Structure 1
Amino acid sequence: MAARGKLTRGLWIALGCACPGLGTIGVVLPILPTVPFYMATVFCFAKSSERLHDWFVGTSLYEKRLEGLVARRTMTMTDRLRFVWSVTLVMGIGFALMSKVPAGLAILAVVWVCHLLYFFLRVQTIPEGQAPEGE
């Protein structure tokens, strides 16, 4: 049992270390979604180690890209559009690959619309460079 726990913890740490790299690449390449990778990092580190989780939450990457979204559901319009563009591109690829699977197309379309509704109706826009409320 102990060996299995170490292996599981090691896998969470490995995933947690890979995700910020992919998210950082996503800052430059719009095909990779930045925010989901950073959110995955927080999740993986939380599953593996409280110390790693606390470290990542204290980084400027987290503070700049995720803190407002996680704590107060706020984003700048640039971050919101970048995120929605990334999600749309990735889902568009999935849509093209599922052209012969009507159920898959319907599910992807519903998920995509839900993403749009959430990010444009539930996430508040803050001006570029402004700190979210409460800071």
Structure 2
Amino acid sequence: MNSLKQTLWLSAGLISVGLGFLGAFLPLLPTTPFMLLAVFCFARSSQRLHDWLINHRQFGAAIRDWNENGAIALKVKTIAVASMVTVLAISFMFGVPFPVIIIQVITLGAVATFILTRPSV
């Protein structure tokens, strides 16, 4: 049973890394939350993958900042909020239906509020 749990945590971690990697290139898919989820999953399944992600050249610093201080780098906050505004502007330009715009405004507003209220490093 323990092996099954470990396999499930490992699978969830690998899927999270994959989604996080895609999020580095797709504006609607967030990278950092998936990498944080992957670290959480790897902590329960693979010390080697956990250490690899914590020390990763691209993602490691953000993960360590979050784990140690619950903080997000100011540069990351700026990029995140700018991406959200860009996505919303693109939705307006393409004439996305108004109810969808409202959902985006509420969702992106909540996410932006969360990001901006975290401590900065």
Q: Runs of 4 or more off by more than 4 Å in structure 1? A: 111-114
Residue identity opposite 1:121 in structure 2 = T
- Could you tell me the percent identity over the aligned residues? 28
The reply on whether 1:5 has 2:2 as its aligned counterpart is: yes
8 Å contact kept, 2:36–2:63: yes
Query: Equivalent of 1:25, from 3, 22, 25?
Result: 22
When normalised by structure 1's length, the TM-score is 0.60
Residue identity opposite 2:40 in structure 1 = F
Alignment partner, residue 92 of structure 1: none
Query: Equivalent of 1:54, from 37, 51, 56?
Result: 51
Aligned residue for 2:44, secondary structure, equals: helix
Give the paired residue count.
106
More divergent stretch after superposition (36-45 vs 61-70): 61-70
The reply on whether 1:120 has 2:116 as its aligned counterpart is: yes
Give the alignment's Cα RMSD to 1 decimal.
Answer: 3.0
What is the rounded CA distance, in whole Å, between the counterparts of 1:47 and 1:66 in structure 2?
A: 16
Residue identity opposite 1:30 in structure 2 = P
Can you give the 5+ residue segments of structure 1 that lack an aligned partner in the other structure? 90-94, 100-104, 125-131
Inter-CA distance 117–31: structure 2 relative to 1 (3 Å threshold):
closer
Alignment partner, residue 36 of structure 1: 33
Displacement, 1:114?
5.2
Inter-CA distance 82–32: structure 2 relative to 1 (3 Å threshold):
farther
The reply on whether 1:67 has 2:64 as its aligned counterpart is: yes
What is the rounded CA distance, in whole Å, between the counterparts of 1:58 and 1:34 in structure 2?
A: 16
Inter-CA distance 82–26: structure 2 relative to 1 (3 Å threshold):
farther
Can you give the 5+ residue segments of structure 2 that lack an aligned partner in the other structure? 88-98
Displacement, 1:113?
5.4
What is the rounded CA distance, in whole Å, between the counterparts of 1:32 and 1:112 in structure 2?
A: 12
Residue identity opposite 1:7 in structure 2 = L
Residue identity opposite 1:75 in structure 2 = A
Aligned residue for 2:73, secondary structure, equals: strand
Inter-CA distance 115–31: structure 2 relative to 1 (3 Å threshold):
closer
